[in-house]
Amino acid sequence: MDRVALVTGSSRGLGAAIATRLAAEGATVVLTARTMEPDPKYQGSLRQTRDEILAAGGSAVAVPADLSQPDEREQLFAEVCDSVGPPDILVNNAAVTFLRGLDGFPDKRVRLMVEMHLLAPLHLSQFVIPAMRERGRGWILNVTSVGGDLPPGPPFSEFDRTAGFGVYGTVKAALNRLTKSLAAELFDDGIAVNAAAPTNPVATPGAGTLDLAKTDTEDIGLIAETALLLCTGDPATMTGRIAHTQSFLREVGRLSE
């Protein structure tokens, strides 16, 4: 795969797994997150992800950036273009998550989540679209969540009543709608736009910080495989998908029943 892939939030967790999978297929991967060096609060860093890809024979560069800041998003894109050229693939994975009931959710945190889950993916997509359109091909993937699906009810489950996923689910639902709209608008340009979500929680460092993903967890490799397929599929047929890993991989014959 002779392509450049920009993967946000790739210092650890889902982003690192997706970046590593794309690099293993021959992509030149640009890694970005806030933490170039290891952080005592979390496992993983941009340096670690980059070094592991390079040690495996892949190609990767790391560009630290705080994607909650529009000027840093702009600077990131300029650095990517200067170092490896405009991306063929954009994976919007970077996110920040706070869990709390809606009646007391701090405004500052709501705005930060909207910025990271919705505005940053749109802004970065706007940056990469012109070169993709000129080439007549491109792939944009937004990492979403089943939390963006509407909860069933009433009656509502105890989880939906108490877990504090209201803002998280709202921004992921908005990201899903953004995905569909971009897919429709860019269809004639040969640019695929999809979203992917783990079917079950993945035991990443971020999930551990939020005290999640203790049971019914999913292999992180499933999201990496889903991302690879969505970032290499034919844009004429594989676009506008909100893909849940397990059902999607069964559909395409990559996972048995």
Helices 46-55 & 13-24, crossing angle to 10 degrees? 20
CA distance 104 to 115: 19
Long-range CB contact pairs, 214-218, < 8 A, 24+: 218/245, 218/246
Residue 256 in domain: no
Token digits of residue 240: 């506008």
CA distance 146 to 166: 13
How many CB atoms lie under 10 A from the CB of residue 71?
A: 9
Residue 224 in domain: yes
Residue 82 in domain: yes
- 77 contact partners, CB below 8 Å, separation of at least 6: 124, 127, 128
pLDDT grade for 41, boundaries at 50, 70 and 90: confident
Total of domains in the chain: 1
Residue 25 in domain: yes
Q: Which of 127, 139, 165, 168 is flagged as catalytic?
A: 168
User: For residue 235, with 0-12 CB atoms within 10 Å meaning exposed, 13-18 middle and 19 or more buried, which class applies?
Assistant: buried
Residue 208 in domain: yes
pLDDT of residue 38: 81
42 is catalytic: no
pLDDT grade for 201, boundaries at 50, 70 and 90: confident
Predicted confidence (pLDDT) per residue in 145-157, tens digit: 999 999 999 999 9
pLDDT at 208 > cutoff 60: no
> Which domain covers residue 89, as residue numbers?
4-251
Contact 16, 43 (CB under 8 A): no
For residue 78, give the CATH number of its domain. Answer: 3.40.50.720
